[in-house]
Copies of this chain bind each other. A is one copy, B any other.
Amino acid sequence: MPFSRISLLAGHSPAYLGALTNALDRALVGSFQVPPHDRFVAVHQHAPGELVFDRHYRGGPRSDQYVLFHITTGKPRSAATKAAFFRRLVDELEHAPGIPAQDVMVVIAESGWEDWSFGGGLSAADDRGAAP
């Protein structure tokens, strides 16, 4: 149910983007108990002047591998569960495609089941029992 936007500098190969979304998927499944096929991601590749990030604020040093995950979830989760997800995500990304932990930034936005339709004009809230 999460929908994730990923922003990074332009110029990455499809293989890199594939590894990026695979890592995100493993972290969501592992830490948020998201079903394995619940994969919905939009990647935004930016020209250098279009992606602004401080290299040192509250972490860093950030490099040109900086990536921002903006994730909208379908239900609230505890601070501890979110913290576990952050740790898991950087572990997965360090493994593949090989992104330094300090380059990984995340922002989570919460919403409710009734805010989602997966298709067919059906509310996810009404469709809850029918979920695979």
Contacts and interface: CB of A to CB of B under 8 A. Distances in A.
Contact of A86 (B35, B48, B122): B122
Identical copies of this chain, number: 3
Q: Size range of the interface on A?
A: 35 or more
Interface in A45-75: 45-46, 48-54, 56-60, 62, 68, 70, 72
5 contacts: A40-B52, A43-B51, A44-B50, A72-B109, A83-B123
A51 B17 CA distance: 10
A18 B59 contact: no
Given A42-B44, A115-B82, A87 B121 contact: yes
Contact of A54 (B40, B60, B104, B131): B40
